[in-house]
Chains A and B, each alone.
Chain A
Amino acid sequence: RRRSPMVTGTSVLGLKFGGGVMLAADTVGSYGSLARFRGISRLLRVNGSTALGASGDVADFQHLRQLLEQMVIDEELLGDGHSYSPRALHSWLTRVLYNRRSKINPLWNSIVIGGVYGGESFLGYVDMLGVAYEAPSLATGFGAYLAQPLLRAALEREQLPTREEARELLERCLRVLYYRDARSFNRYELAVVTEKGVELEGPLTLEANWDIAHLV
């Protein structure tokens, strides 16, 4: 019967670009207002085609990570050449999270799944209520209010952003979140998924611009 989350992570961002998808999240686990754990990774490489990022309760994310890692191992043991697609994982996660919420004992997370499978990019969202959808750009937490408009504006153009443009955009969004989200931190990680696989970069540090302080 639950409850409230304990150690939490803030926004996770996801963006499709020409060639794949990119996820970003900072590396802090907050204990209420205290930035208690500053070296937590909230992005996960699930398999060769999928990456996942979670905000919300970190203990629940660690539990999910164990489930996912075991699933991937079991599948490799089958040795039939198949691996879970990002879409399949998204579907599975939706079932798990929805069923937990139906028992009034949710896994207190909002999750972004991104991947490239069969030449197609996938970007999906699932949260603790079992709400699930796909979109070319995604953000959880504060990001939904501050970053999503910036991401959507960039997608209004004819073509998807390039890898470099996507990276710059995500960094810009993370910077805005660092300025405006009281539970954020300026160290972050990036996951880039292309046909070649999943690359996890980080921890990287954001530079903040405080020039406007002199104008006041």
Chain B
Amino acid sequence: TTIMAVEFDGGVVIGADSRTTSGFYVANRVTDKLTPVHDRIFCCRSGSAADTQAVADAVAYQLAFHSVELEEPPRVRTAARLFQQSCYRYREELSAGIIVAGWDPRRGGQVYVVPMGGLLLRQPFAVGGSGSSYIYGFLDATFQPGMSRSQCQEFVARALALAMVRDGSSGGVIRLAAITKEGVERTVLAGSDLP
């Protein structure tokens, strides 16, 4: 798996590959690892598919309840904190590396990372999954703060494409999503569309 999220002024761009493996067998080559937990908040899942789906479902429920009580859209930070609470409490049992990203009216676009172990950290951009190891160099060399939405999309697509080539556990198509005040725009880059 390779997952990634980048903040820009006005929202976030998130991306993931689409390969799920069971040992060496590709169980699903068109997986969707970008999972909504609320209207403008998504999570990128890496690690055990079962674990991350279970936690994401629980967080989605908690957020839905919370946002009814609040009578306004929940903060991205709240979603990230909910993930962190489960991932830290059950750190021995879970195998889950999660990136939470989205847009809220208070703080705009935000990216939070909850890696294995259950710490919580906000970052301008985050990567995760087995494929991320291969692109740290590329990311360090290429990332600039203050990129525009389309620059972020290109940055994410290029990074994921590079990781998918080198990592056997990553591959398939690139799923991208841009989350802003206006909503969520999803795209798929496949085959010859890949950078």
Binding site for B on A (CB under 8 A): 1-3, 5-7, 29, 31, 34, 36-37, 39-40, 57-59, 62-63
Contact = CB atoms under 8 A, between A and B. Distances in A.
A59 B117 contact: yes
B120 interface: yes
B59 to A, nearest CB: 17
A2 B92 CA distance: 7
Contacts of B121: 29, 37, 39-40
Given A34-B133, A34-B136, A58 B119 contact: yes
A113 to B, nearest CB: 21
Interface of B: 88, 91-92, 113, 115-121, 123, 133, 136
Contacts, number: 39
Given A31-B115, A36-B115, A37-B123, 18 more contacts: A1-B92, A3-B92, A6-B118, A7-B116, A7-B117, A29-B119, A29-B121, A39-B121, A39-B123, A58-B119, A59-B91, A59-B117, A59-B118, A59-B119, A62-B88, A62-B119, A62-B120, A63-B88
Contacts of B113: 37
A31 B117 CA distance: 10
Nearest to A2: B92
Nearest to A37: B121
Nearest to A8: B117
* Main SS class of interface, A: mixed
8 contacts: A1-B92, A6-B91, A6-B115, A7-B116, A7-B119, A34-B136, A39-B123, A59-B117
Q: Which of B115, B117, B120, B123 has the most CB of A within 10 A?
A: B117
A162 B16 CA distance: 53
A57 B117 CA distance: 8
Q: Which of A7, A36, A40, A63 has the most CB of B within 10 A?
A: A36
A69 to B, nearest CB: 14
A74 B152 CA distance: 43
Contacts of A1: 92
Contacts of A59: 88, 91, 117-119
